[in-house]
């Protein structure tokens, strides 16, 4: 029987089964993880890309013991929204971190709605949601 232990000195091999499972659950979006004291793992497209991985946001999440949602300015995911959460021991101390590409951060809902309205205006010739005070055409 195999046993995997996550602790502050866990290595990439210790993290791999869990990180691969997370990767599959979130539809194969990239996932990274590392322990406090050792480099970790980076998984993309169903396979391990790096077993000696660390990144600035993983390091920051461990150092601050907090969830971070950010678009990194450097590293492997520069310019891509990510969410990274600390992995805590029973005392609440950060002993590692796991991060995912945050697809919700890619879409700005206001911009998406604006584009939708523009497309409907272009295709249908009218705004689907008139502003207050604008006339609404009667369908009689």
Q: Which residue ranges form the domains of the chain, and what is each CATH number?
A: 12-104 (3.30.450.40)
CA nearest to 53, candidates 65, 68, 38, 66: 38
What confidence score (pLDDT) does residue 140 get? 46
Q: What is the chain's pLDDT, residue by residue, as a tens digit (140 residues)? A: 677 778 999 999 999 999 999 999 999 999 999 999 999 999 999 999 999 999 999 999 999 999 999 999 988 888 888 999 999 999 999 999 999 998 776 666 566 566 666 666 666 666 655 555 555 554 44
The per-residue DSSP string of 64-98 comes to HTS-EEE--SSSTTTTS-EEEEEEE-TTS-EEEEE
User: First and final CA of the chain: distance in angstroms?
Assistant: 73
**The dihedral sign for the CA sequence 112, 118, 123, 125:** positive
């Amino acid at each position: 029987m195999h046993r995997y232990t996550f602790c502050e000195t866990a290595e990439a091999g210790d993290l791999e089964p869990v990180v691969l499972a997370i990767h599959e659950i979130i539809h194969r979006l990239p996932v990274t993880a590392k322990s406090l004291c050792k480099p970790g793992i980076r998984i993309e497209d169903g396979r391990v890309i790096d077993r000696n991985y660390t990144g600035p946001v993983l390091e920051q999440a461990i150092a601050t013991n907090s969830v971070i949602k950010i678009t990194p300015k450097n590293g492997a995911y520069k310019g891509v929204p990510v969410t990274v959460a600390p992995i805590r021991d029973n005392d609440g101390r950060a002993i590692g971190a796991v991060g995912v590409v945050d697809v919700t951060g890619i879409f700005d809902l206001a911009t998406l709605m604006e584009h939708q309205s523009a497309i409907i205006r272009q295709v249908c010739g009218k705004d689907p949601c008139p502003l207050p005070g604008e006339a609404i055409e009667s369908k009689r």
